[in-house]
Structure 1
Amino acid sequence: MTAPLSVNSAIAGIAWPGIPAPTGAGLLAILFQLEQSQWWAPEEVSRRQRDQLKVLLSHAGTHVPFYRERLRDLGDLPADDTWPTVWRRIAPLIRAEIQAADAEETMITQALPPGHGELRQIYTSGSTGKPIRSVRTQLWELMWSAFTVRDHLWHRRDFRGTFATLRESGAGKALYPDGARSGSWGYSSATILKTGPMASLNITTPVEHQVEWLRRQDPDYLLTHPTIAQRLAVHCREHGVELPRLKQVITISENLKPEVRSAVRHAWGVPLVDIYSTREIGYIALQCPDHEHYHIQSEHVFVEVVNEEGQPCAPGEVGKLLVTSLHNLAMPLIRYDIGDFVEVGPPCPCGRGLPVINRILGRTQNMLIMPSGQRRWPLLSSANIESMLEIAPGIRQYQLVQKAPDLIELRLAVTRALGADAEARLAEWVRTKLGAPFRVVFAYFDEIPRTAAGKFEDFVCEIDR
């Protein structure tokens, strides 16, 4: 049974039903529409997206210098179902173009319609090596809040519970032993709802201290990166640590490996819910409430998954993801190639008309370059990891880094030193897994470094091709 919701009332003398402030009323109005639109037929969703894209193109072509030339010969989107063919005449947008246009001050709108509010800017984490500035509006942030709350509602979270986060990676922030604490789950939820507290801890904290902190917080929900969730789950299972109130683990930021769900389930007996988003776009897809695949958030973004010829991928096919933010008129990102590859899924049995992504494979930099020059995904399955740990049970962390076309560096954090025999067997494991006679060198760390945003990837290609 879903816990009752308590809406914050901004009107003196009214405790229930709550009447929110104007921003909260706007948020509730969006959520009311999202509750209906998730059940629409895909054709209706597509028509509504076309209507918003026409508005976006008109604004960008008129008020954003970068797009005046790019959209000059496009014309209007047709009113019938052929409009995607015209849409695909727009060239995909890459990061280098955004950086160059932003440096020339041609990427930001010269005028905004009334009601979009002030401009806000952030920078991407630069996990691709190419960070970009993103400018958005207060209205975009309101939309972002709506999808934050949708995720909570979809997964039937009890807003009265304690929400713990292990995501802060900034130096000196949310430090052990206390971390940081606030009285609500954050701006998005607290704008309209009464919630329990939120506790945060820096992810650079050693795992044993993270576990000790979690036991003190005794949270109902835990949000963190997949690699952190896996390490916590393994540590808790090995040491018999229970989190008795924990109901769900929520993961963000990194690509989710199947073994993370398994580790969480075995350690704590709770489900894992994953979120697919980027800083510059916001929410792209949320995990289905009834299945482990993802629903594209079509009311917020227009997503295309295309093959090498730029044509739409069918269910079961893997392609490059192009995404258009529907409501950011401050700095429109139209057919933006974020560098991710995903697998398209068939319609969901849950009945929602929102398109399905089966799995998220990651970015080009996570693709292995074979000696032939061909690129492929070096996906590490649970069985792969088990076989590696059979060779060297003391491995705490691992990372494969392709340094040259014929060279793989295996980075390890271990509880005890490995001998020559174990290294030789691990080198052969790498060659067998990757399917080529790579040279393998070893590098040892106390803790394998994460990116500035706290992300961790088990394979990285450092070859610039």
Structure 2
Amino acid sequence: MLKHRLFSPLRRHLMEPLDALRSGTPFLNYWKELERTQYLPEAALRRVQWERLTDLLAYVWDNNEFYRERMEQAGLTPETVTSPEEFRKIPVLSKECIRQNTLAMISRGYDVGSLMKFKTGGSTGKSLEIYLTEECSERRNACARRHDRWAGWNPGEPIGAVWGNPELPLDMKSRLKDWFLSPVIYLDTMSVTEASVRAFAAEWKQVQPTLLYGHAHSIFVLAEFVRELGLSSITPKGILSTSMMLMPHERRTIESVFGIKVTDRYGCEEVSLIASECEKHEGMHLNIEHLYIEFLREDGSPASPGEPGTIVVTDLMNRAMPFIRYRVEDVGVPSDRKCRCGRGLPLMESVTGRVADFLIKKDGSRVAGISLIENTLTKMPGIVQMQIVQESMDSLVVRVVPGAEFKDSTQCGLRDYLAELFGSGTAVEVSIVDAIAPEASGKYRFSICRISQ
């Protein structure tokens, strides 16, 4: 264990800089710049953000026919966008619009074959194809590192990841590189069992990671195993929760089991990191150096501080395939509070729900799936895990992993609650299961709407 603690500074101060010099990557320079800018006054950061936004609009006007047409249809030119009010005239970009115009969104001068490409799946199960340059990817990675450090981790220290389908190094060269630069051990969320958790705990004792990182719900599942099995070897300095909404009861369990605060982080694959808690845990700092972030009411006007609003994001870094006014299908609460940490990055209070995971009542109104979970999972005794699937306007399937306190009355209460909420004639099937499998990505989905919206 001593050698692992001694090796971390060598990775940070010697091996990583040498590797960056050898490969020619500017990643470390990007990261160091972000470490500096986070403490600039908010007004200075806002000026940088607006300059980058107006530069992006000038760029797409000259080099991206898709966005030029959208600006022209709104009666705009780069010169006329002099305020957020003018900027909001550009139409909001939906997932469906991206699917229909993927290649048309690529800027002039970029060869699709030379760009980094990946797919991301939405709540409908239909993937988006995303293209970006290696430079944009490195800037995203640099930003993620800055926010990793807020959880208490330092570069070079091992990480314990609770993640699905981890990409493990296969050959000796790759394994050595990972060890010398950034060792990571994994608990694969595609198969979390007592045996796999015990194996993870044993490996943790050997490698001594300082950061526990993973999907919010997956870390919660691990915490429950650790408590039930009485394991004591998993002792992180920091816990970083990402990829999905961290439920209040999950946060309480994780923090109780491991004895430290959870650092919650929010983002999406399309635009990367959007916001993150810092060590003060007083809200989530917005990544305004890389993104222009809006919180909008249903009529398109800005939400006030403390008021939930649909999150719309403009990526200021990706010029190969720009995302301008992209509706990420989440709802967040903006804030006008200041964090005691002293950073100039403004705060959002929280992410309150997934727009794509809203369920639909017969009268056309929508019900936040995450709120349904809070009103059932956290209030009805004996429900360990739960997932609600809306197959049609008239039917719901509720998968429940029961606990020791689960009774027939719990099942009846759950069925009655949902039938009353969604209206008479709604068939509610409660399915008792041993476990709820994650998606192929390793993430769990609390609610799934299969009605076309």
Name the TM-score, length of structure 2 as normaliser: 0.85
Contact residue 147 and residue 278 of structure 2 kept, 8 A: no
Q: Would the aligned equivalents of 2:123 and 2:357 in 1 still touch at CA under 8 Å?
A: no
> For residues 237 and 419 of structure 1, do their structure 2 counterparts lie closer, same or farther at Cα, with a shift above 3 Å needed?
closer
User: Within the alignment, does 1:240 sit opposite 2:246 as a pair?
Assistant: no
- Opposite residue 145 of structure 2, the aligned amino acid is V
Shift of 1:336: 0.7
Deviation of 1:124 after TM superposition, in Å, equals: 0.7
> Who is 1:7 aligned against?
13
Measure, in 2, the Cα distance between the counterparts of 1:112 and 1:307: 35
Q: Say if 1:237 and 1:266, in contact at 8 Å, map to a contact too.
A: no
Whichever residue aligns with residue 67 of structure 2, its letter is Y
From 151, 165, 174, the equivalent of 1:155 is: 151
Counterpart mapping for 1:195-234 below 5 A: 197-218=183-204, 219-234=209-224
Work out the percentage of aligned pairs sharing the same amino acid: 27
Q: CA deviation at 1:431?
A: 5.2
| Worse overlay, 29-38 or 225-234 | 29-38
Match in the other structure for 1:446:
434
Q: What is the alpha-carbon distance in structure 2 between the residues aligned to residue 396 and residue 336 of structure 1?
A: 35
Tell me the number of residue pairs that the alignment of Structure 1 and Structure 2 aligns: 431
State the match for 1:369 in structure 2. 360
Equivalent position amino acid for 1:353 in 2? G
Report the residue type matching 1:232 in the other structure. Answer: L
- CA distance, structure 2, for counterparts of residue 354 and residue 77 of structure 1: 27
CA apart distance, 1:448:
1.8
The CA deviation at 1:161 is: 3.4
Residue 43 of structure 1 corresponds to 43
User: How many angstroms does 1:144 deviate by?
Assistant: 1.0
> How does 1:45-444 map onto structure 2 within 5 Å?
45-72=45-72, 73-77=75-79, 83-102=83-102, 105-111=103-109, 119-169=115-165, 182=175, 197-218=183-204, 219-350=209-340, 351-378=342-369, 379=371, 384-388=376-380, 390=381, 393=382, 395-414=383-402, 420-430=408-418, 434=421, 439-444=427-432
Q: Distance between the aligned counterparts of 1:443 and 1:412, measured in 2? A: 6
TM-superposed CA distance for 1:4, in Å, is: 6.2
Q: Is the contact between residue 133 and residue 320 of structure 2 (CA under 8 Å) also seen in structure 1?
A: yes
Code of the residue aligned with 1:93 in structure 2: it is: L
Select 2:448's aligned residue among 427, 436, 460: 460
**Distance in 2 between the 1:435 and 1:10 partners?**
56
The 3 A distance-change label for structure 1 pair 403 and 381 is closer
Quote the Cα distance in structure 1 between the aligned partners of 2:122 and 2:16. 40
Q: How far apart are the structure 2 equivalents of 1:174 and 1:366?
A: 32
Structure 1's 232 and 292: CA in aligned 2 closer, same or farther, altered over 3 A? farther
- Partner amino acid, structure 2, of 1:260: E
1:182 Cα offset (Å):
4.5
Q: Distance in 2 between matches of 1:51 and 1:361?
A: 30
Displacement of 1:293 in angstroms is: 2.0
Amino acid at match of 2:165: S
Kindly tell me: are residues 421 and 52 of structure 1, through their superposed partners in 2, closer, same or farther at Cα, counting changes over 3 Å?
closer
Contact residue 61 and residue 78 of structure 2 kept, 8 A: no
Residue 243 of structure 1 contacts residue 268 of structure 1 at CA under 8 Å; is this kept in 2? Answer: no
2: CA distance between counterparts of 1:141 and 1:448?
33
Range with greater deviation from structure 2 (51-60 or 35-44): 35-44
1:45 aligned partner, one-letter code: L
Give the Cα separation in 2 of the matches to 1:24 and 1:153.
24
| Contact persistence 1:247–1:271 (CA under 8 A) | no
Structure with the higher fraction of residues in helix conformation: 2
- Bigger drift between 47-56 and 296-305 goes to 47-56
What is the RMSD computed on CA atoms of the aligned residues?
3.2
Between the aligned partners of 1:385 and 1:420, the Cα distance in structure 2 is 15
Show CA shifts across 1:231-280 (max 9, x none): 11112212222235322222221111111111111112122112212112
C-alpha separation in 1, matches of 2:404 and 2:261: 33
Structure 1 pair 450–77 and aligned structure 2 pair: CA distance change class (3 A) = farther
Check whether the contact 2:16–2:181 (CA below 8 A) recurs between aligned residues.
no
1:142 CA displacement: 1.7
8 Å CA contact 1:8, 1:20 repeated in 2 = no
Distance 1:414 1:384 in 2: 13
C-alpha distance in 1 between matches for 2:165 and 2:439: 9
Structure 2: distance between partners of 1:24 and 1:358: 39
Q: Residue 161 of structure 2 aligns to which amino acid in structure 1?
A: T
Asked if 1 retains the 8 angstrom alpha-carbon contact of 2:223 and 2:258, the reply is: yes
- CA distance in 1: counterparts of 2:26 and 2:410, whole angstroms: 60
Partners of 1:51 and 1:149 in 2: CA distance:
24
- Name whichever of 416-425 and 84-93 sits farther off: 416-425
Following superposition, the deviation at residue 418 of structure 1 comes to: 7.2
The corresponding residue for 1:191 is: none
Q: Is the 8 A contact 1:112 1:329 kept in 2?
A: no
1:156 aligned partner, one-letter code = G
The answer to whether the 8 Å contact 1:183/1:197 transfers is no
Structure 1 window deviating more from structure 2 (454-463 vs 269-278): it is 454-463
TM-score in terms of structure 1 length: 0.83
CA distance in 2, matches of 1:259, 1:398: 14
**C-alpha separation between the residues in 2 aligned to 1:98 and 1:435?**
32
Runs of 5+ in structure 2 lacking a partner?
Answer: 1-7
